[in-house]
Amino acid sequence: MDSPITAAGIRRYFKTLDEHMKKLKLYGDEESINTLAAMRDEFLTMLNAAGIDKHGKGTTAIPKNLAAALKQLAGSQQIESIQAEVEAMLAQLDAQPDLEEMPRVDFEATPRVDWKEGVEHLKDLTLNDLWRKLGLPTDALVFFQERTDPTATIDPWTPEGIEWLQTNPLAEALMPRWHQLVSILFLVDCMLKGNPVLLMDEVGVGKTMQAIGLIAIRAFFYDHFASKGKFPGIFGSSDAKGNLKDAPSVIVCPPTMLDQFTAEIHRYLRPGTFDLLPYVSTYETRPQWWQKIWLKSAQRPRRRILLASHTALVSDAGVAFETEKYGPTPPKAKNWDSKKNTTIYGQEWGVCILDEAHCARKYNSSYNATRGLREASLMTVALTATPIMTKPAVRLKLTNALRGIMRGQKKSESEAAQEYMDVVMKWMTVMRDRFTGYVVRRTVMSTDNTGKPISGLEPFTEHNIILNLYQWELDNLDVEASELAEEHGGAVLYGAGKVSSRASLDALAHILQYHLAEDGRQPLKADAEGRGVEPDPAYDTQPVTDLPDKIVVYSAFPASNEIICDIFKLFGIQYLELNGKTPMNRRQGIIKQFQAADRDGPRVLILSGVGSDTLWSALEDDQLKGRVWRQPQRKKVRVYRLIADKTPDVFLNNISFDKGAMHEAFVGSTVHLSEFSTSVIALVQPLTVY
């Protein structure tokens, strides 16, 4: 009698099969490997059809986020209502003056090499000009919410959230800013041409709204062409060979950003206008996903959005493409024809949005996954605020650099570093030339058509507090430096010595106590001895509002958080902690608790290892500041930098400057870099945190 199939038996089968394939690979027996691979795939397909994965576990349970998304799919009545609304908008356009006679923007006019933001040719357009050139029926993005919650604490796609936006006086008008509309106009032109775009706007400028705005406008442009035989606005006179394809859109982001992207899509798009489905985990956990889940949406393809995690994309790529074979175009797997429709690559996508696109900058599995998705997409927008990456070994070997700092740098190393930078700057100019017409890059310091900063925020202030270490700390640091330089080349010097500075921790605790005691206080400066802090008379106090001041503390080294937490407890400071090890299902809860905290609650958030590196780069420094100094910020932001004098901070600053210089050379801007690298940042800010 045959033995029943058990979970343990399934696991043993796959383990044995994989071991045999590894052995056959050593002997180069491709024919046998392919035969076993086909057997493996066939058996896995049978299991998946039965709702079982390769570990023998059931796969029928629907993840919580997917179950929530399925509940929010638009019903037939809601879809018909939205379509009637679109037809009404199209009829309204018939009653407006013909916009085709407006001068068409010369999108090819960007001078080669001389560009800085990529959209200089649109600089003189007013907000009204931009709306008219897009040809939209009202001064609002189609399918977008009219109002928004400035604290980002409600979900606008829930019945409670919908009612809140309609009735609560705290709800604010949701409108794109001038620079966002400029970018959307540029993106629409690129979409109609099929050109990809590298959107490198700094954190806080609002890349997400621009990307979602493009998806919404694409759906409306399809409806407009289907009704009138042309696109709206200045694009009505384009040499269009036909309508856009009725294709869905896909957004790819890191797993840690899925909740935030979901919240942003809900914040911008009205419920019912688009269906949003999450695509997460690995290929083997999604049996028949495209038949059982994707087809549950009754929306037309152009009004569907797939929100995929980077992990899910790479997992699908491992099935669709040859693994460990990289190149400009990823090679298709031998069973491509039979497997592609079970992956994300079996769909044709209208717009593909790739968040944190710099993760695919090298030939590896991430590159294969993203490049393959671009090949399956009619238009791709790559989002990144850090195109120049930040690994310290890029400039000089970390070991040699640290040894040079602690024991005196040889002239030859200095000359080599300068020669390296000279070559980098030369090639940055070449890269800029080749990227002309495909890049948009604005910072929070960029200005609009009236000369005002596009951030719309009051400038933040930076306060560098240079502290003198206690003598015993300097002695210990010197001993550690000598030992590490001998044993490990100094590679862990900074992590071992710098973050445990007693002087820095004391100063941090006093800064927090000072600002938590009262709202809007003067910022602090180092006292005469360099071991304490005192009010800085060069700055005024700020008006007190209904929202209490809050503080984000950035800890570059998560290993030091335990010490920081102990200090906070000692001083009676309530805090929350969010780091790279915080489970995904807890992150949103921590952020919401921080947002909702009143003056008696935890108004300090320790942030480390969440979407940012250890600040080897001025670009990551800018990113970190941009996470709080951004819309809808309402208060003055103070940025504190605690710098321990006579430590390797100078070394980190040099690396930061070089990376920043490379980036500024690429975007052609004036170098405006921070004076010091950051060990700990404290930001006094209001309720909303990103």
In percent, the amount of the chain with pLDDT more than 90 equals: 26
Helix residue ranges per DSSP H, 390-470? 398-407, 411-435
pLDDT at residue 668 is higher than 70: no
pLDDT at residue 405 is higher than 50: no
CA distances 328 to 313, 363, 367, 634, Å, are 18, 8, 9, 46
DSSP bridge pairs for 524:
535
> Residues 133-186: pLDDT tens digits?
999 877 789 999 999 987 777 899 999 999 999 999 888 899 899 999 999 999
Query: Higher model confidence: residue 112 or residue 148?
Result: 148
> Residues 75-107: pLDDT tens digits?
888 888 888 888 888 887 765 555 444 455 555
Q: Do domains 82-383 and 456-685 have the same CATH topology?
A: yes
> Residue 651's pLDDT is what?
46
Residues 6+ apart with CB under 8 A from 275: 72, 73, 74, 297, 298, 299, 303, 304, 305
Per residue in 526-543, is it b (16+ CB within 10 Å) or e — as a string? beeebeebeeeeebeebe
Query: Higher model confidence: residue 626 or residue 554?
Result: 554
CATH number given to 456-685:
3.40.50.300
Pick the range with the lowest mean pLDDT from 18-32, 389-403, 425-439, 611-625: 389-403
Structure tokens belonging to residue 494: 């900074």
> Residue 682's pLDDT is what?
36
Quickly state the pLDDT bin for 669 (edges 50, 70, 90): very low
Pick the range with the lowest mean pLDDT from 135-144, 265-274, 581-590: 581-590
Query: Higher model confidence: residue 391 or residue 266?
Result: 266
Please state the rounded mean pLDDT for residues 56-63: 60
What would the 3-class secondary structure string for 211-255 be?
A: HHHHHHHHHHHHHHHHHHCCCCHHHHHCCCCCCCCCCCEEEEECH
pLDDT at residue 491 is higher than 70: no
> Residues 420-459: pLDDT tens digits?
667 666 666 666 677 777 888 887 778 888 888 887 677 7
Contact predicate 66/292, CB 8 Å: no
Residues 604 and 5: their CA atoms lie apart, in Å, by 53
> Residue 71's pLDDT is what?
85
Residues 331 and 121: their CA atoms lie apart, in Å, by 39
- When the pLDDT of each residue in the chain is averaged and rounded to a whole number, the result is 76
Please state the rounded mean pLDDT for residues 205-223: 94
Quickly state the pLDDT bin for 317 (edges 50, 70, 90): very high
Q: Residue 587's CB: how many other CB atoms inside 10 A? A: 16
Quickly state the pLDDT bin for 5 (edges 50, 70, 90): low
pLDDT at residue 506 is higher than 80: yes
Query: Higher model confidence: residue 67 or residue 483?
Result: 67
Helix (H) or strand (E) holding 633: none
pLDDT at residue 325 is higher than 50: yes
Query: Higher model confidence: residue 319 or residue 241?
Result: 319
Residues 127 and 278: their CA atoms lie apart, in Å, by 34
DSSP 8-state class, residue 643:
E
Please state the rounded mean pLDDT for residues 186-203: 89
> Residue 501's pLDDT is what?
62
Side by side, which strands form the sheet with 439-440? 275-279, 304-309, 249-253, 351-354, 380-383, 197-199, 439-440
Residue with tokens 């445990």: 500
Burial of 159 (0-12, 13-18, 19+ CB in 10 A): exposed
Residues 338 and 334: their CA atoms lie apart, in Å, by 9
Residues 497 and 484: their CA atoms lie apart, in Å, by 11
Please state the rounded mean pLDDT for residues 471-488: 62
Contact predicate 211/488, CB 8 Å: no
Quickly state the pLDDT bin for 469 (edges 50, 70, 90): confident
Residues 255 and 690: their CA atoms lie apart, in Å, by 16
Task: Provide the residue ranges of all domains of the chain, joining segments of one domain with +.
Answer: 7-61, 82-383, 456-685
> Residue 622's pLDDT is what?
62
Total residues found in the chain within this entry: 690
The pTM of this model reads 0.68
pLDDT at residue 656 is higher than 50: no
Tell me the CATH number of domain 82-383, given options 3.90.1010.10, 3.40.50.300, 3.40.50.620, 3.40.50.2000: 3.40.50.300
